[in-house]
Structure 1
């Protein structure tokens, strides 16, 4: 291990606002576009945080995992539209949003009318994914990220940072699992549309994952 290297980081980006995210509809596999406000959110973030010498420096990104839904894919391209070269990225269903099954497109109040007492964080989604299934998918993504981080920190064979451009529930579960909490701990976290979460490690130790910042872009753009 080389202690002179800065600690590796994971940037978790939630896509910008969509019509359904604005009005509280569960948006899993549905391919809903960004609103004009959603695009503006991402453009403002890019202006503040992305570019040579900025917090998100494209030359430091060894790879970016992007959900194939257009709201995430568009967010990725807006983030990097003003840099000379778009970072290496992979479209992967592993980064898709929670599959809401029969509850896709519904607001929470509408779900509770059908299923009184239901709680998605414990009960999962009928016809979609259980909490355990989502947690397993997220854990698989985390393992891939940490493999890159080990390569960088212990061998210096890849660049420092990884980015994931995905969704709200996915990002909340990933943040919880990053520090070893159960998926349901994600209910305690707020990740705004168009925001960035920064995950890293404490004490120059890859065995001590940490949450460095939540809603970073939202706070900077107040």
Structure 2
């Protein structure tokens, strides 16, 4: 089990998020709301940077995640990590999720982002993604901030918590928040005050 704190962020809302289009390792720009979400994450992280001035800050190099990271970092150095890219969804990338669901005989109510990304016939798939996420976590050697994507960030959070794939699939994909993980437990931080309270709760680690 990873003992040091990890602070996980999903990128802000993008144009393709609004359209219901699969991004995967393609990209689309942040919306105005997405940029505001990155600013909210910057505010949440201020106490984290105060507590861990040298914290390792890594981000996916895909534009939506990198732009979110640079905003949220507020001048803190950020490094790009290809391992943090979103799961590859093959020929389904760039397509509307609703169209893919309909082609597979489903309905709009069955438009499950997590399931779609992992079931793309020529995509990366769950087993390869799990190996990639385990490599990312194994490479950490201290407290870290990570900015990634919906499916990858859920996988990272689930692996830290020791969850199986079914439970990982049920995790939320909130944007504009920070997921704090420590000793196998997760807390969603929505404000700077939340972050301050959380850091106080793990003060024993900080000492």
TM-score range, shorter chain: 0.7 to 0.9
For residues 34 and 92 of structure 2, what CA distance do their matches in structure 1 show? 24
Greater relative contact order (Cα < 8 A, sep 6+): 2
Deviation at 1:111, TM superposition (A): 1.1
Deviation at 1:218, TM superposition (A): 7.1
- Helix, strand or coil at the partner of 1:110: helix
Q: Structure 1 pair 189/39, CA: closer, same or farther in 2 (3 Å)?
A: same
Deviation at 1:185, TM superposition (A): 2.3
* Residue in 1 that maps onto 2:19: 23
For residues 50 and 129 of structure 1, what CA distance do their matches in structure 2 show? 32
For residues 64 and 51 of structure 2, what CA distance do their matches in structure 1 show? 21
* Residue in 2 that maps onto 1:155: none
* Residue in 1 that maps onto 2:203: none
User: What's the TM-score once normalised by structure 1's chain length?
Assistant: 0.74
Kept in 1, the 8 Å contact 2:8–2:147? The answer is yes
Offset from partner CA, 1:171-221 (integer Å, 9 cap, x none): 1111111122223422211121232111111xxxxxxx222x13x227979
Kept in 1, the 8 Å contact 2:40–2:177? The answer is no
* Residue in 2 that maps onto 1:98: 87
Q: Which has the higher helix share?
A: 2
- Helix, strand or coil at the partner of 1:198: strand
Kept in 2, the 8 Å contact 1:121–1:184? The answer is no
- Helix, strand or coil at the partner of 2:48: coil
Detail structure 1 runs of 4+ shifted over 4 Å in the superposition: 117-120, 218-221
Aligned length: 186
* Mapping 1:192-211, distance limit 5 Å: 192-201=174-183, 209-211=184-186
Which segments of 5 or more consecutive residues in structure 2 lack a partner in the other structure?
195-207
* Residue in 2 that maps onto 1:65: 58
> Is 1:86 equivalent to 2:76 in the alignment?
yes
> Is 1:121 equivalent to 2:90 in the alignment?
no
Which segments of 5 or more consecutive residues in structure 1 lack a partner in the other structure?
1-6, 150-160, 202-208
> Is 1:35 equivalent to 2:28 in the alignment?
no
The RMSD of aligned alpha carbons is 2.5
User: What's the TM-score once normalised by structure 2's chain length?
Assistant: 0.79
